[in-house]
Structure 1
Amino acid sequence: MGSTRFSLLCFVTCLILFSLNFDTYEATEFPVGGKENSWSIPTSPNALNVWAQHERFKIGDSLVFKYDSKNDSVLQVEEGDYKKCIRTKPIQEYKDGNTVIKVNESAAFFFISGADGHCEKGEKLEVIVLSHKHSSPPPALSPNESPAVTTPVVEAPKSSAVGLDLWIVDVFIVAVATLVGISMF
């Protein structure tokens, strides 16, 4: 009987320790530009990218583009086409006026307007999607800078002191569980 209790206690302790090592994450919908109908020519040429640099996009999040479908569209393009505002060979084209794009991988994504001249006036967006384990976005751009990030940003590992703190907590929990298990005999 005591052996069964001890085994159960060890199992529960391991389950608790295992669950402590996982972050929970809930997907977020991001209105592009931070507000309704902001997929349009911005007031400053880099405004959409400045907004994107202040957000933290992760796998599973969605970008919501709201715009007038009679006058505009959203094109997902390769980086080179993004930089040169080339609309002729998009990866994907959206024309519904309420485009929701779910990002399913950690990478850089590039979007431009499908309307003549809009991209050249700043209606373009670069989004860096981080993996679930990354905790901070790339450094923010000033309003006059253009985005220089061409590959997904990989954040440096967190301080080993944080890992050490969790390790100490884990060891403490195992020690207490073991003492409780032994006292049950």
Structure 2
Amino acid sequence: MLFGFVLFITILLSCCSATIYKVGDSDGWTTKDDVYNSWAERKEFHVGDSLVFEYDRSLNDVTQVWGALEYQFCDTFSPQAVYNTGHDVVTLTEPGFYYFISSNRVQCQLGQRLDILVVHDPSRPIPPPPPSKVLYFGKTYKVGGSKGWRVYDSEFYNKWGEEKEFHVGDKLLCEYANEANDVYEISGHREFET
């Protein structure tokens, strides 16, 4: 019976263990000529894995940006997160693309940036959502109020949004005539401006 229990724990730990990757291996997070993409190409990142960024915090930081355009143009105008402790651990909690750059534009353009694709490993359990997604039921907002989703003056929706306080879990309802309009969700400030 004891052997069975030990075997069960061993199997459980082997199938559910996450991998911790030190970005850049022994060199860490520093200005390099595009070494991070070749570093990432040799790895498969899964939900639950973690990235460790080590660097001199007086010279550097890690800025997580929303999308490929912010990544490509080293745009830190509206970051998703900024890490600056010199030893940052970022746990990959959802599948999809993750983009990290240095907020120093010159260093970023010289290659201090990393983009990775995170996939879900079917042998690992799906982690529960953060508590805020579980506990908060949210409100539903009809975009544009009674006017709905249509073409108005360029400031109409900005004014509409400024009057609201949105929270994680809220929903936006866009009602429109589908022959004339659509809704396209984008991933960052640069895509919005484009």
Task: State the TM bucket, normalised to the shorter chain.
Answer: 0.5 to 0.7
Q: Secondary structure of the residue that 1:24 maps to in structure 2?
A: helix
The letter for the 1-side match of 2:69 is G
Match of 1:114 among 76, 90, 103: 103
Task: Give the match for residue 17 of structure 1.
Answer: none
**Are 1:129 and 2:87 an aligned pair?**
no
Structure whose CA Rg is larger: 1
Cross-structure match for 1:51: 39
- Classify the secondary structure of the residue corresponding to 1:110: strand
Give the aligned CA root-mean-square deviation in angstroms.
Answer: 2.0
Q: Report the CA distance between 1:115 and its aligned residue.
A: 1.9
Question: Is the Cα–Cα contact under 8 Å of residues 25 and 132 in structure 1 kept in the other structure?
Answer: no
Is residue 45 of structure 2 the alignment partner of residue 34 of structure 1? Answer: no
Give the whole-Å Cα distance in 2 for the aligned partners of 1:115 and 1:81.
Answer: 13
In 1, distance between residues paired with 2:17 and 2:84?
28
Aligned with 1:71 (options 59, 65, 70): 59
Does the CA contact (< 8 Å) of 1:73 and 1:114 recur in 2? yes
More helix by share: 1
Alignment of 1:88 onto 2:77: yes
1:133 positional shift: 2.6
Task: State the match for 2:86 in structure 1.
Answer: 97
Q: TM-score, normalised by structure 2?
A: 0.54
Which structure is higher in RCO with an 8 Å CA cutoff and minimum separation 6?
A: 1
CA deviation digits over 1:11-38, x for unaligned, max 9? Answer: xxxxxxxxx9xx8131011000122x42
The one-letter code of the counterpart of 1:104 is T
Shift of 1:116: 3.8
For the 8 Å contact 2:74–2:105, the answer to whether it is kept is: no
For residue 51 of structure 1, report the CA deviation from its aligned partner.
0.5
Residues 109, 128 of structure 1: 8 Å contact kept: yes
Give the conservation status (yes or no) of the 8 Å contact 2:74–2:103: no
